[in-house]
Amino acid sequence: MDTEPGVLVIDDELGIRVGCQRALQNQGYRVETAASGEEGLQKLQSDSYDLVLLDVMMPGISGLDVLDRISQLDPSLVCVVITGYATVELAVQAIKRGAYDFITKPFDADTLILTVEQGLEKRQLSKQAQRMAELEAEAEDLARQKKELERLDKIKSTFTLMVAHELRAPVAAIQSYLRLILDGYIPPEKQHEYLAKAERRALAQLELVNDLLDLARLQDPDVKTKTEPLQFDQVLEEIMDSMAGHAAEKDIHVEHAVESGLPAVDMTPQHARQLWTNLISNAVKYTPDGGRVTVSLSEQNGSLVGTVADTGIGIAENEIGLVFEEFYRSKAAKALTRMGTGLGLSIVKRIVETYHGTIRAESKVGQGTCFTFTLPVDRPSAPRQ
């Protein structure tokens, strides 16, 4: 790589070219010459220079046009124009069009060297200013990235704390039931009852661990699940059948309306089942005995649109934005049942987003809730992982 500054002399007069080259080479510059504007522009495209000495009065392409082309090629390149006697007007025009300085023929070597030195100094300064601006932009970018990493790190720590907290409760309960039995505080006829309680807590913990694993898989970009063309309405039928028993226990009437001839969607079957299961089981869980759950599926504007509505406890206005967050359980939900991980809706939201869809909830306390989700039928690309 050349370390000495590069100067290109563009002049149709051989004497000027040779004279400039000799004087500047003696100063340690790398100097090349061109006898016309066209040749000069070619050289500028194939090699890099720091300064151009340009005669503005040449046959062929005009010096001012060459100047314009130079500033398009490299705006930071310093141009010094060479003007003839009594062509000050041209020099002024050249300066207006971006030339740094001008030098009038005839000139001596000292004037030439001084002008070139000043031009190169200016070039050096503007390069430094540009580098400073780039460094500042890089520093700002790094500061932004650092802030984002700190934010993500905080979310991760909070999540880990919440997981630990949620996992500790059932283990502590199971441990204390077992300790009571082992220490002989529970008479044999009551031991079965305590073991059954311990098993219930173990099952709840298993459910939590399974939900956490599902969520982690959905959030891991390296985990790719296999999709296939699915009749989403058939998956719904299957889930409705599996929910019927539980709904009947609570005397909840579950009905569904499905548009006929719905197109297939490319999806992982397990995701489709989880989506329906979580929404419908929530509707049944949060609806008092004797209530109603209504499910619908249709196609609108190129998307499948699913709704799950119930006549249940509802969600307070200030809590509706929080129910898709991990571990969030509303006050009313906690009061109604201890069963729940607070992860079901996070999983649903993640599944819907994986397939470029959306989900929202509308609710009125004491009257019921309706979840509406969309799933584009023709996605632009594979699932978003």
- Which residues form the interface with ligand ADP (CB under 6 A)? 278, 282-283, 286, 310, 312-315, 323, 328-330, 333, 340-346, 369
CB of 382 to ligand ADP, least distance (A): 27
Nearest Cα to 52, choosing from 88, 5, 109?
A: 5
CB of 384 to ligand ADP, least distance (A): 21
CB of 340 to ligand ADP, least distance (A): 3
User: Closer CB to ligand ADP, residue 156 or residue 331?
Assistant: 331
User: Closer CB to ligand ADP, residue 105 or residue 200?
Assistant: 200
**Helices 37-46, 63-73: crossing angle, 10 deg rounding:** 10
Q: How far apart are the first and last CA of the chain?
A: 46
Taking CB atoms, the residue at the shortest distance from ligand ADP is: 344
CB of 237 to ligand ADP, least distance (A): 21
User: Closer CB to ligand ADP, residue 53 or residue 333?
Assistant: 333
CB of 315 to ligand ADP, least distance (A): 5
**CA-to-CA separations, 270 to 183, 184, 263, 284, 374, in angstroms, rounded:** 45, 46, 19, 21, 17
User: Closer CB to ligand ADP, residue 34 or residue 313?
Assistant: 313
- Among left, alpha and beta (phi > 0; psi -120 to 50; other), residue 251 is left
CB of 147 to ligand ADP, least distance (A): 29
User: Closer CB to ligand ADP, residue 37 or residue 340?
Assistant: 340
User: Closer CB to ligand ADP, residue 153 or residue 317?
Assistant: 317
For the chain, give the secondary structure using H, E and C: CCCCCEEEEECCCHHHHHHHHHHHHCCCCEEEEECCHHHHHHHHHHCCCCEEEEECCCCCCCHHHHHHHHHHHCCCCEEEEEECCCCHHHHHHHHHCCCCEEEECCCCHHHHHHHHHHHHHHHHHHHHHHHHHHHHHHHHHHHHHHHHHHHHHHHHHHHHHHHHHHHHHHHHHHHHHHHHHHCCCCCHHHHHHHHHHHHHHHHHHHHHHHHHHHHHHHHCCCCCCCCEEECHHHHHHHHHHHHHHHHHHCCCEEEEEECCCCCCEEECHHHHHHHHHHHHHHHHHCCCCCCEEEEEEEEECCEEEEEEEECCCCCCCCCCCCCCCCCCCCHHHHHHCCCCCCCHHHHHHHHHHHCCCEEEEEEECCCEEEEEEEEECCCCCCCCC
User: Closer CB to ligand ADP, residue 23 or residue 348?
Assistant: 348
CB of 207 to ligand ADP, least distance (A): 9
User: Closer CB to ligand ADP, residue 93 or residue 307?
Assistant: 307
CB of 214 to ligand ADP, least distance (A): 12
User: Closer CB to ligand ADP, residue 190 or residue 331?
Assistant: 331
CB of 329 to ligand ADP, least distance (A): 3
Q: How far apart are CA 61 and CA 8, in angstroms?
A: 17
User: Closer CB to ligand ADP, residue 100 or residue 286?
Assistant: 286
CB of 364 to ligand ADP, least distance (A): 10
